[in-house]
């Protein structure tokens, strides 16, 4: 699946305000916003997310090239998930029905099916640890009260208030080793992330990854939405654990 050098499992920070650099600080308001958002996300029983992503890749000559893709996620806790990533007319998909997961690539026509654990969190852990697969938007299922500590945040700042796609959002900036990130969180009783921007400081080119989210919290779904039916011509292949010899 698409990934940004695995930086989607870690988070962001760096900012200039009023023309001057902000000193290192962990503002309680910014840390509380992360915890409140995470608590709210963990409480959602079903959700549909459409996300537009832009990812920089650095060529051998140092030039930075931007690639765009769209991600569509449908989840129903505890054990249903569908993720589809589209780029240039091609689609990569994951289907999870609580018993098995299937990965499918429309460009090659290959798919693979494996036994799966019984909840979404365990599935994400299995994909990452056994197969080296990081799903887009997977961090939305990992936010908790320990996120700031695990990420090693050195800065957490409230920046300002902005309106994105008609939603009033608080703009925060965070910093951790080699990573700066900015996060816009919707104000009000539904503290959903509206936008995420990640910048890598471990590369001279400072490549970025950004995501704009659109949420549907009452999207209907049925069990068939999480089942994979192979299209004509699709071919099954095995899925080897990460690091396994061919």
What pLDDT does 139 receive? 81
What pLDDT does 100 receive? 98
Predicted structure pTM score: 0.85
Q: How far apart are CA 193 and CA 191, in angstroms?
A: 7
Give the closest residue to 123 by CA, choosing from 140, 138, 104.
Answer: 138
Lookup: tokens for 219: 């999207």
Q: How far apart are CA 2 and CA 76, in angstroms?
A: 22
What pLDDT does 147 receive? 77
Q: How far apart are CA 9 and CA 6, in angstroms?
A: 6
Going across the sheet that includes 167-176, the strands are 155-164, 167-176, 179-186, 193-200, 208-216, 46-58, 64-76, 80-87, 90-96, 100-105, 110-115, 235-236
pLDDT string in tens for the chain (246-residue length): 333 333 333 333 322 233 344 456 899 999 999 999 999 998 999 999 999 999 999 999 999 999 999 999 999 999 999 999 999 999 999 999 999 999 999 999 999 999 999 999 999 999 999 999 999 888 887 777 777 788 889 999 999 999 999 999 999 999 999 999 999 999 999 999 999 999 999 988 899 999 999 999 988 899 999 999 999 999 999 999 987 655
What pLDDT does 184 receive? 98
Q: How far apart are CA 212 and CA 52, in angstroms?
A: 5
What pLDDT does 245 receive? 57
Chain CA centroid to CA 61, Å: 29
Answer yes or no: are the C-beta atoms of 212 and 194 closer than 8 Å. yes
What pLDDT does 246 receive? 58
Q: How far apart are CA 175 and CA 138, in angstroms?
A: 20
Specify burial of residue 233 (Cβ count, 10 A radius: 0-12, 13-18, 19+).
exposed
What pLDDT does 24 receive? 65
Length of the chain equals: 246
What pLDDT does 50 receive? 97
């Amino acid at each position: 699946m698409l990934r940004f050098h695995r930086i989607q499992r870690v988070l962001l920070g760096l900012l200039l305000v009023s023309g001057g650099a902000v000193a290192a600080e962990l503002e309680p308001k910014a840390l509380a916003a992360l915890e409140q958002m995470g608590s709210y996300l963990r409480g959602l029983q079903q959700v549909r997310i459409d996300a537009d992503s832009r990812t920089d890749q650095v060529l051998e000559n140092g030039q930075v090239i931007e690639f765009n893709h769209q991600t569509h996620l449908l989840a129903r806790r505890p054990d249903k998930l569908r993720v589809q990533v589209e780029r240039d007319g091609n689609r990569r998909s994951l289907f999870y029905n609580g018993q098995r997961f299937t990965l499918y690539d429309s460009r090659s026509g290959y798919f693979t099916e494996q036994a799966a654990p019984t909840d979404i969190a365990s599935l994400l852990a299995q994909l990452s640890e056994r197969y080296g697969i990081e799903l887009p938007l997977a961090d939305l299922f990992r936010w908790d009260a320990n996120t700031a500590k695990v990420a090693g945040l050195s800065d957490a700042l409230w920046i300002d208030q902005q309106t994105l796609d008609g939603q009033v959002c608080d703009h925060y900036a965070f910093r951790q080793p080699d990573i700066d990130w900015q996060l816009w969180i919707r104000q009000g009783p539904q503290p959903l992330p509206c936008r995420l921007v990640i910048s890598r400081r471990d590369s001279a080119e400072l490549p970025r990854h950004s995501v704009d989210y659109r949420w549907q919290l009452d999207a209907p779904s049925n069990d068939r939405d999480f089942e994979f039916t192979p299209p004509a011509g699709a071919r099954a292949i095995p899925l080897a654990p990460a690091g396994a010899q061919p």
